[in-house]
Structure 1
Amino acid sequence: MNKENLKDLLDTKYQQYNNSNFIETDPVQIPHLFNHKEDIEIAGFLAATIAWGNRKMVINNCHKMMNLMGNSPYDFVMSHKPYQLEPLKSFVHRTFNGRDFTTFICGLKHIYTNHSGLENIFNKHQKEGYLHNAISQLKQKFFEVEHEQRTHKHIADPLRGSAAKRLHLFLRWMVRNDNAGVDLGIWKSISPSLLSCPLDIHTGNVGRNLGLITRKQDDIKTLMELDTHLRNFDPIDPVKYDYALFGLGVFEGWK
């Protein structure tokens, strides 16, 4: 498939899947539950953190997280008492357990109290046309709180070779304003042109099928290979094609 036909296919599939119907089957529905900026950010961050595995299970467990915080995530993060963390210790999603959850609450409080919030970190540390450095800085500052070493694995670091799929998913939700009602676009300080595709098994397999990826492993080098193609197709809004790649893989069975 030549470049022009490939772009036409991706544009068509982007239009097909980037609409409000997508929300009901996707964890993006979790930040959509809220109206206030900080609630949206925290709900989105936590939802993206556990966004791997069966999508129905992911969504169910995201709702459990919100319920455990009284469906007021920012207020819970900033105002919780130690005893209020106890119910969170029963939470589990795959390898993300209650100890990780309570650490994330404390880490988020630290981010908002001492680093002016999530958006500020990403805005302050963006450079070189990507947000990889900002993600690495977030991880460093997040774990300035007391924590167990095991929890480190739940925040990826692109500077150590990770494709950081879940954090790029979170960033897509926060930064990209698609006018279709899916991505929330509440962060105005960061350009959508800096976003990277949330590279998972579906986008990776479809990307290889279409010749957008040559590498076998899903790491930072593979992500930058994919990003280069997507930015050539649309330098202003490259990550809109995540909908096309994901839709072809999940809903149409491309491998």
Structure 2
Amino acid sequence: MNKNELKDFLDSKVLEYNNPKFIESDPIQIPHQFSIKEDIEIAGFLTATIAWGNRKSIINNAKRLMELLDSSPYDFILNHEDSDLEKLQPFVHRTFNGDDAIQFISCLKNIYLNHNGLEAVFAKHAESHSVQNAISKFKTTFFEVEHLTRTQKHVSDPLKNSAAKRINMFLRWMVRNDKTGVDFGIWNSLSPAQLSCPLDVHSGNVARKLGLLKRKQNDGKALLELDTALRRLDANDPVKYDFALFGLGVFEGF
């Protein structure tokens, strides 16, 4: 396929998958349970944090985590007592355990009390063409409070050559307004043009088959290569192609 044919093909796949039916089997359904901005972004951030492994398990554990936060994550983070955190102790999703969950509550409380919330932290350090530096700065801010060393591994750092798949996915959810009701578009201080594709095994494999990506590892260098290719197809909304690449890989076995 030439560039125009590839763009037409991927655009058609975006239309096919970027619709409300996508929500039914995707972790994005968790933040869709909420209507308050802070609840949506906190639910989205925590869900994205544990979004690796079996999708059904991710969704079930994210639902469980929201229940442990009294189905009101923003209020819980700001107003919990120390005794309220005890019920989080048994929580586990793969290597993310109760200690990590409790640590995340502490870090998020600091973000909202002292840094005007998640959106402000990411927007503060975003560059005109990229949010990867902002993700790295976010990690520094997130862990500026006293914290467990082990919990740091659950927030990726693109400046250490991580593709930061889960945070890039979270940012897609928050920033991109797709007019179809999948992505939320509730963060107006960032632009879809700044976003990067959530690069995982599915989107990476499909991107390689389509000639959008040559690097074999799904790391930060591969993300830059894929970003460059997707921006040639749509500079204003390159991450819309996440729906096409992911859909082709997961649902069609492309």
Query: What is the TM-score with the length of structure 1 in the denominator?
Result: 0.98
Aligned residue type for 2:92: V
Pick closer, same or farther for the CA change 1:53–1:130 going to 2, 3 Å: same
Q: How many Å separate the matches in 1 of 2:180 and 2:228?
A: 25
Offset at residue 235 of structure 1 (A): 0.7
Equivalent in the alignment of 2:130 = 130
Query: Which whole-Å CA distance do the structure 1 matches of 2:104 and 2:209 have between them?
Result: 37
Distance in structure 2 (CA, Å) of the matches to 1:106 and 1:69: 13
Shift of 1:212: 0.5
Aligned to 1:219: 219
Residue 61 of structure 1 aligns with which residue? 61
- The correspondence of residues 1-255 of structure 1 with structure 2, limited to 5 A, is 1-254=1-254
Distance 1:58 1:198 in 2: 16
For residues 112 and 98 of structure 2, what CA distance do their matches in structure 1 show?
21
CA-based RMSD of the aligned residues comes to 0.7
Distance 1:9 1:96 in 2: 38
Matched position secondary structure for 1:56: helix
Structure 2 CA distance, aligned partners of 1:154 and 1:251? 27
AA in 2 matched with 1:47: T
The amino acid across from 2:181 in the alignment is: G
Alpha-carbon distance between aligned partners in 2 of 1:162 and 1:81, rounded to the nearest angstrom: 35
The whole-number CA distance in structure 2 between the counterparts of 1:152 and 1:228 is: 29
Aligned partner of 1:114: which letter? N
Deviation of 1:122 after TM superposition, in Å, equals: 1.1
For residue 41 of structure 1, report the CA deviation from its aligned partner.
0.7
Residue 148 of structure 1, CA deviation: 1.4
After superposition, the C-alpha distances for 1:226-246 in whole angstroms (9 at most, x for unaligned) are: 011111101111100000000
What 5-or-longer segments of structure 2 have no aligned partner? none
Encode CA deviations 1:51-88: one digit per residue, 9 max, x unaligned. Answer: 11110110000000000000000000000100100110
Q: CA deviation at 1:146?
A: 1.8
AA matched with 1:2: N
User: Which amino acid counterpart does residue 9 of structure 2 have in structure 1?
Assistant: L
- Give the CA deviation at 1:128: 4.8
Gapped regions of structure 1 (runs ≥ 5) = none
In 2: Cα distance, 1:196 partner to 1:252 partner: 23
**1:140 partner amino acid:** T
Report the secondary structure of 1:90's partner residue: coil
Give the AA of the match of 1:239. Answer: V
User: For residues 154 and 148 of structure 2, what CA distance do their matches in structure 1 show?
Assistant: 11
